[in-house]
């Protein structure tokens, strides 16, 4: 079918009409940026080039406000830390060597703004996007996780977003055949107009199968394959993610992408067969900024160039202009660099899967990106300037005016009432475990397939998700993700470290050794100096924390502009930690299964209730300083757990975090319905804390373990030898009850009802 070529803005035209008015402002560019483009090109840009730069230089694609801070992740490292790192930041996803010739690639990404506008498709395409990033590294995706933050449960709009997002993740993830192995769901009014939908995926590959997104050999073909290109998300990237919503509602035209997981499943199988046949030299997926991004990044990474015939793109909608084609974010598309000699084999494989493709052009030596629309040249740019040399901002930073008074307003200064009455404390425990953030999320997680693939060793509600990679040896990986917006609001530096500590502790609790980190940094507007201060603090905290723990950041994502009007979300850096386990059979369950085991509390309890769930649920209070983070203690604890696990001493391990000891005890009993008798007096005596602190403090570097009687002596000896504070606090029993001595006794069935009813009642 001949394409009608209308009058397009060519490079020739651009040279001849230097003073033409261009809508650079409407496209989201600043005057300085427009001027810089003219300097780079030595003329005004064509409309197509303007579209490319506007999208690629937007916050979402260029990381212009965050780049200078993200550098720390690459700088604050040691050779020891990075020895397992095969691919670091800057690629589609980080890749880590896990031994036996296997590697895993993992990353977490955000799809926040689209999920407020169209929750179902926003969340669905969020999953689709991160899975494609993993696929692009040459890996078979093997699992997904998600980290969700919604507004207050009392607000009627929250249900709209929750239902859409959960259905969207369920729809897309299940159709791809990827087990969902964990994540988190948090409700807080600060996320009302700005829900956070972060999606993580992990994939496995043999070392030799690693693929990179670069076009380096002149003569190789540039091929676009997968779904046809339509009008999805045109301008979505620069329009949505780089501007906040006005309180009156989104004024920009909604530009949401619609996903087809079936198409992506077919694409996954097709790509894996292409990789196995070794017919692909480089590969990039098309996500934000679509073709603009894929072409410029492949060329720039390969230090080469490309000639592209844009009219060869297979269209779903023939009315698209060249600019729209370049900016389209139609899903389920990939760009491959294929040596000419491999074209026949490539074609045979895509035909087998009935996947459409077209050859758009070829790689050239000159580092220049030429895009033609028929005979007309509409783009002629240095690819590096588009993909990698975008603007780098040093945004103003200002210590928040509210910070000092917020930090001074601790639970102590606010005189928050603490009870000593057992019945009141027991009541508070029930209130806390049934509060929306602490209650069972199985209404949500039961909508996700966690069996597909047959390699899921641990999934929700255990401490981390764990997947077997090698069926021969049992080699596997564990992943945990954590974030605490409240802690970060109080102290972004330590709050970020606390998230890292918690995820690290969760991985160690399942029996794996933490080795790498990914992150999704969700913040307000970078144009707000107080938000930039939070960002600066948080990135420093995370980088310093990673250095101290020896776990490098392998990649991640930044989501700015999560605010409505002047009200920003709490700084919410989500930290994901990946660990390796030599044999998943050695994984440690999080709950009690056997009667007659001793329960030990490891670590020290301090009076640390600022920012805690107790302060939120019981007193609706946020103030003071978050719990002290001690990464040396976390490391020692993790090493102890590893040692004990290798000796087979641990029947269960569950870490303490939000909700304190109370939450952990209840979860340990509900996991398999095994009861226990627990006493707190030794904690209160040894650590000099009151009952409220013993139950609800959120002090770090603590876990509870259950140990068989025959292993007691050995286990306690191990702790003492390593200087880990250890206290026996209880015994498991088949009574059907959880008893906290001198406080209360609960029937497990009653606890199960309270813990399990909250979420279905709100959203079912």
Partner 1 sequence: MKIGVVTFPGTLDDRDAQRAVRIAGGEVVKLWHADANLHAVDAVVLPGGFSFGDYLRCGAIAAQAPVMERIIDAANGGMPVLGICNGFQVLVESHLLPGGLIRNENQHFICRDQKLIVENVDTPWTNGFKLGQEITIPLKNGEGGYIADEETLKKLEGEGLIAFRYFEVNPNGSVNNIAGLRNERGNVVGLMPHPEHAVEPGFGPDTPLAMRSGIDGLTFFTSVLNQVVNS
362 beta partners? 221, 307
Nearer to partner 1, 179 or 603 (CB): 179
Contact segment (CB under 8 A) with partner 1 among 63-71, 88-96, 300-308, 442-450 equals 442-450
Please give the C-alpha separations between residue 279 and each of 150, 211, 264, 276, 312, in angstroms, as whole numbers.
44, 11, 20, 8, 21
d(CA 757, CA 764): 10
- Annotated catalytic residue: which of 60, 113, 654, 755? 60
Pick 176 or 381: Cβ nearer partner 1? 176
Residue 419 vs 593, nearer CB to partner 1: 593
Shortest separation between residue 195's beta carbon and partner 1, angstroms: 20
Would you count residue 450 as binding partner 1 (CB under 8 A)? Answer: yes
Pairwise CA distance, residues 207 & 116, whole Å: 39
Considering CB under 8 A, how many residues would be counted as binding partner 1?
Answer: 34
Query: Shortest distance, CB of residue 588 to partner 1, whole angstroms?
Result: 10
d(CA 682, CA 557): 44
Distances (CA, A) of 178 to 145, 174, 267, 707, 736: 10, 6, 14, 34, 36
- Which residues, including other chains, have CB under 8 Å from residue 279's CB and lie 6 or more apart? 338, 339, 342, 345, 346, 349
Q: Which stretch binds partner 1 (CB under 8 A): 12-20, 78-86, 448-456, 559-567?
A: 448-456
Rounded Cα gap, residues 528 and 133, in angstroms? 31
Residue 165's H or E segment, with its range, is helix 156-176
Give me the residue label for tokens 């810089």.
36
Q: Which helix (H) or strand (E) holds 531?
A: helix 529-549
When asked if residue 263 is in the footprint of partner 1 (CB under 8 A), the reply is: yes
**Is 582 one of the binding residues for partner 1 (CB under 8 A)?**
no
Judged by CB under 8 A, which of 35, 394, 404, 446 binds partner 1? 446
Contact pattern from residue 173 through residue 192 relative to partner 1, giving x for each residue in contact according to CB under 8 A and a dash for the rest: -xxxx---------------
Dig out the tokens for 742 from the structure: 């001198």
Nearer to partner 1 (CB atom), residue 61 or residue 580: 580
Pair of tokens at residue 283: 């590969």
Query: Cα dist. 315→116, 183, 739 in Å?
Result: 28, 37, 66
Round to whole Å and give the CA distance between 544 and 506: 19
Backbone angles phi, psi at 386, to 5 degrees: -80, -50
Based on the shown chain and the rule CB under 8 A, indicate whether residue 332 belongs to the binding site for partner 1: no
333 lies in the site for partner 1, by CB under 8 A: no
Q: Which stretch binds partner 1 (CB under 8 A): 142-150, 259-267, 611-619, 698-706?
A: 259-267
Are 664 and 584 within 8 A, CB to CB? Answer: no
Token pair 């629309």 is found at 373
Which of the ranges 85-93, 261-269, 489-497, 564-572 carries the binding residues for partner 1, by CB under 8 A? 261-269
- Compute the least distance from the CB of residue 446 to partner 1, in Å: 6
Strand ranges for 216-304 from DSSP E: 221-226, 282-285
Which residue from 241, 323, 320, 385 is spatially nearest to 47, judged by alpha carbons?
A: 323
Give the range of 149-157, 556-564, 583-591, 642-650 binding partner 1 by CB under 8 A.
583-591
Query: Does residue 472 bind partner 1 (CB under 8 A)?
Result: no
Which of residues 262 and 399 has its CB atom nearest to partner 1 in the complex? 262
Name which of 656, 644, 655 is nearest 721 in CA terms.
644
Task: For the CB of residue 652, give the shortest distance to partner 1 in the complex, in Å.
Answer: 9
Q: Does 390 bind partner 1 (CB under 8 A)?
A: no
Q: Which stretch binds partner 1 (CB under 8 A): 198-206, 257-265, 360-368, 739-747?
A: 257-265
In the list 45, 88, 122, 261, the residue contacting partner 1 (rule: CB under 8 A) is 261
Query: Which residue number, 260 or 323, has a Cβ lying nearer to partner 1?
Result: 260
Q: Which is nearer to partner 1, 471 or 710 (CB)?
A: 471
User: Is 265 a binder of partner 1 (CB under 8 A)?
Assistant: yes
Instruction: With contacts defined by CB under 8 A, name the span among 189-197, 294-302, 452-460, 716-724 that binds partner 1.
Output: 452-460
Are the C-beta atoms of residues 743 and 681 closer than 8 Å to each other? no
Distance of closest approach, residue 265 Cβ to partner 1, in angstroms:
6
DSSP SS3 for 196: strand
Is residue 111 part of the annotated active site? The answer reads yes
Of 13, 82, 155, 167, the one binding partner 1 by CB under 8 A: 167
Report the run of H or E that residue 272 belongs to, with start and end.
helix 261-276
Catalytic, 412? Answer no
Q: What is the pairing mode between strands 513-522 and 553-559?
A: parallel
- To partner 1, the closest distance from the beta carbon of 461 in angstroms equals 12
- Footprint on residues 339-378 left by partner 1 (CB under 8 A): 353-354
**Residue of the chain from 47, 301, 428, 456 that contacts partner 1 (CB under 8 A):** 456
Q: How far apart are CA 29 and CA 54, in angstroms?
A: 6
Shortest distance in whole angstroms from residue 352 CB to partner 1 = 8
Q: Which stretch binds partner 1 (CB under 8 A): 31-39, 88-96, 167-175, 277-285?
A: 167-175
Choice from 2, 415, 454, 710 touching partner 1 (CB under 8 A):
454
Among 82, 155, 403, 593, binds partner 1 (CB under 8 A): 593
Query: Which is nearer to partner 1, 592 or 715 (by Cβ)?
Result: 592
**Residue partners of 198: CB distance under 8 A and separation at least 6:** 108, 109, 110, 111, 112, 126, 146, 147, 148, 481, 520, 522, 557, 574
Looking at beta carbons only, is 175 or 429 nearer to partner 1? 175
| Among 321, 431, 435, 447, contact with partner 1 (rule: CB under 8 A) | 447
451: its two tokens: 């069996």
CA 286 to chain centre: 19
Using alpha carbons only, give the angle 617, 619, 625 rounded to the nearest 5 degrees: 95
Residue identified by tokens 């988190």 is: 184
Q: Which stretch binds partner 1 (CB under 8 A): 224-232, 272-280, 446-454, 691-699?
A: 446-454
Please state the closest distance from residue 174 (CB atom) to partner 1, in A: 6
If binding is defined by CB under 8 A, does position 125 make contact with partner 1?
A: no
DSSP 8-state code for residue 674: -
Contact between 584 and partner 1 by CB under 8 A: the answer reads: yes
Distance of closest approach, residue 177 Cβ to partner 1, in angstroms: 3
| Active-site hit among 111, 570, 621, 654 | 111
What DSSP designation does 341 have?
A: G
- Is 589 one of the binding residues for partner 1 (CB under 8 A)? yes
Rank residues 167 and 216 by Cβ distance to partner 1 and give the closer one: 167
DSSP string, 381-450: E-HHHHHTS-----------TTHHHHHH--TTTTT------HHHHHHHHHHHHTSTTTS--HHHHTTS--
Between residues 455 and 668, which has the closer beta carbon with respect to partner 1?
455
Residue 672 binds partner 1 (CB under 8 A): yes
Which residues between 27 and 56 bind partner 1 (CB under 8 A)?
A: none
- By C-beta, is 260 or 616 nearer to partner 1? 260
- Is 268 a binding residue for partner 1 by CB under 8 A? The answer is no
Could you say which of 452, 636, 716, 754 contacts partner 1 (CB under 8 A)? 452
Q: Could you say which residues in the range 412-431 bind partner 1, by CB under 8 A?
A: none
Report the 10 Å Cβ neighbour count for 421.
Answer: 11
Residue (408 or 585) nearer to partner 1, CB: 585
E strand map for 512-642: 513-522, 553-559, 563-564, 567-568, 572-581, 598-602
Adjacent-strand bridge partners of 197:
148
Which residues are known to be catalytic?
60, 111
Which residues lie near partner 1 (CB under 8 A)?
Answer: 167, 170-171, 174-177, 260-263, 265-266, 353-354, 446-457, 468, 471, 584-585, 589, 593, 672
């Amino acid at each position: 079918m001949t394409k009608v070529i209308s009058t397009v803005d060519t490079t020739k035209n651009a040279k001849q009409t230097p003073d033409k008015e261009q809508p650079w402002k409407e496209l989201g560019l600043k005057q300085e940026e427009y001027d810089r483009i003219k300097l780079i090109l030595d003329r005004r840009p064509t409309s197509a080039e303007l579209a490319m730069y506007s999208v690629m230089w937007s916050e979402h694609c260029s990381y212009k406000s965050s780049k200078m801070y993200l550098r720390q992740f690459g700088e604050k490292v040691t050779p020891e830390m990075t020895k397992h790192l095969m691919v670091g930041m800057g690629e589609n996803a980080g890749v880590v060597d896990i031994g036996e010739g296997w590697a895993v690639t993992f990353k977490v990404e955000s799809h926040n703004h689209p999920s407020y506008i169209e929750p179902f498709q926003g969340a669905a395409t969020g999953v689709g996007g991160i899975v494609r990033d993993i696929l692009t590294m040459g890996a078979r995706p093997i699992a997904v996780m998600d980290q969700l933050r919604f507004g207050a449960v009392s607000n009627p709009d929250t249900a709209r977003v929750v239902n859409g997002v959960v259905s969207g993740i369920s729809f897309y993830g299940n159709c791809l055949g990827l087990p969902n192995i964990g994540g988190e769901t948090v409700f807080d009014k600060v996320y009302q107009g700005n829900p956070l939908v972060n999606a993580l995926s992990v994939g496995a590959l043999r070392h030799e199968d690693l693929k990179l997104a670069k076009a380096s050999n002149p003569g190789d073909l540039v091929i676009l394959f997968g779904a046809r290109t339509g009008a999805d998300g045109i301008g979505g990237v620069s329009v949505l993610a780089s501007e906040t919503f006005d309180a009156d509602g989104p004024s920009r035209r909604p530009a949401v992408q619609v996903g087809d997981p079936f198409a992506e499943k077919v694409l996954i199988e097709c790509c894996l067969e292409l990789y196995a046949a070794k017919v692909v030299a480089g590969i990039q997926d098309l996500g934000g900024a679509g073709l603009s991004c894929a072409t410029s990044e492949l060329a720039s990474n390969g230090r080469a160039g490309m000639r592209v015939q844009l009219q060869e793109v297979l269209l779903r909608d023939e009315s698209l202009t060249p600019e729209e084609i370049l900016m389209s974010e139609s899903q389920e598309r990939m760009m491959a660099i294929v040596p000419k000699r491999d074209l026949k084999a490539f074609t045979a494989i895509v035909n087998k899967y009935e996947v459409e493709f077209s050859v758009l052009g070829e790689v050239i030596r000159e580092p220049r990106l030429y895009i033609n629309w028929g005979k007309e040249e509409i783009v002629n740019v240095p690819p590096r300037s588009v993909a990698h040399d975008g603007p780098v901002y040093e945004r103003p930073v200002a210590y928040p005016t509210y910070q000092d008074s917020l930090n001074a307003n601790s639970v102590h200064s606010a005189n928050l009432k603490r009870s000593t009455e057992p019945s009141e404390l027991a009541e508070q425990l029930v209130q806390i475990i049934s509060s929306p953030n602490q209650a069972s999320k199985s209404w949500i997680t039961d909508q996700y397939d966690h069996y597909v693939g047959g390699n899921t060793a641990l999934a929700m509600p255990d401490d981390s998700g764990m997947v077997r990679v090698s069926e021969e040896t049992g080699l596997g990986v564990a992943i945990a993700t954590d974030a605490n917006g409240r802690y970060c609001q109080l102290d972004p530096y330590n709050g970020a470290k606390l998230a890292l500590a918690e995820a690290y502790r969760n991985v160690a609790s399942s029996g794996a050794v933490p080795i790498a980190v990914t992150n999704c940094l969700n913040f307000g507007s970078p144009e707000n100096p107080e938000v930039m201060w939070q960002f600066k603090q948080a990135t420093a905290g995370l980088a310093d924390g990673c250095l101290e723990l020896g776990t490098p950041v392998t990649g991640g994502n930044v989501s700015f502009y999560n605010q409505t009007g002047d009200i920003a979300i709490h700084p919410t850096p989500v930290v994901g930690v990946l660990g390796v386990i030599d044999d998943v059979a050695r994984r440690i369950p999080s709950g009690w299964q056997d009667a007659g085991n001793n329960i030990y509390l490891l670590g020290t309890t301090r009076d640390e209730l600022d920012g805690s769930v107790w302060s939120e649920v019981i007193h609706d209070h946020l103030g003071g300083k978050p719990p002290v983070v001690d990464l040396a203690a976390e490391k020692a604890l993790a090493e102890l757990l590893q040692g004990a696990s290798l000796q087979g001493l641990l029947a269960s391990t569950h870490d303490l975090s939000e909700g304190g000891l109370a939450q952990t005890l209840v979860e340990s009993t509900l996991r398999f319905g095994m009861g226990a008798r627990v006493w707190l007096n030794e904690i209160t005596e040894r650590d000099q804390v009151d009952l409220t602190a013993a139950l609800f403090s959120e002090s770090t570097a603590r876990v509870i373990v259950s140990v068989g009687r025959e292993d007691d002596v050995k286990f306690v000896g191990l702790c003492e030898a390593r200087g880990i504070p250890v206290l026996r606090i209880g015994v498991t029993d088949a009574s059907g009850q959880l008893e906290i001595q001198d406080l209360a006794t609960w029937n497990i069935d009653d606890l199960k009802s309270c813990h399990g009813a909250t979420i279905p009642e709100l959203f079912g």
